[in-house]
Amino acid sequence: MAERVVPRALARTGWRKSSYSGAEGGSCLEVLDGHPAGVPVRDSKDPHGPAVVFPVAAWRAFIGAVKDSPTV
């Protein structure tokens, strides 16, 4: 699979963090809903950095696996 990156990711609006992200910051991912190429994901600490786009099916499988995993 070819790597897909969102150009000018910072310029796009609508990024959201997980509801599990704490108010103190830390390591968080942000996702952008409604992108035509899939689900863009970026590091919230580096909004100027790259945003990698995952196919919708792959993102759903990832989220499902995370929800099904036992808590540590």
Residue 22 lies in a domain: no
- At residue 12, φ and ψ (nearest 5 deg) are -80, 140
pLDDT of the residue at 25: 61
Residue 23 lies in a domain: no
pTM beyond cutoff 0.85: no
pLDDT in tens, the chain (72 residues): 445 776 656 566 788 887 766 666 667 888 988 888 889 988 888 887 788 899 999 999 998 998 888 865
Query: 């786009």: which residue's tokens?
Result: 53
Residue 20 lies in a domain: no
Residue 71 lies in a domain: yes
Residue 51 lies in a domain: yes
Domain residue limits at 33: 1-12+29-72
Helix (H, G, I), strand (E, B) or coil at 69: coil
Query: What whole-number distance in Å separates Cα of residue 21 and Cα of residue 34?
Result: 21
**Total number of domains constituting the chain:** 1
What is the four-CA torsion angle of 55, 53, 43, 63, rounded to 10 degrees? 0
- At residue 54, φ and ψ (nearest 5 deg) are -105, 145
Count of residues making up the chain = 72
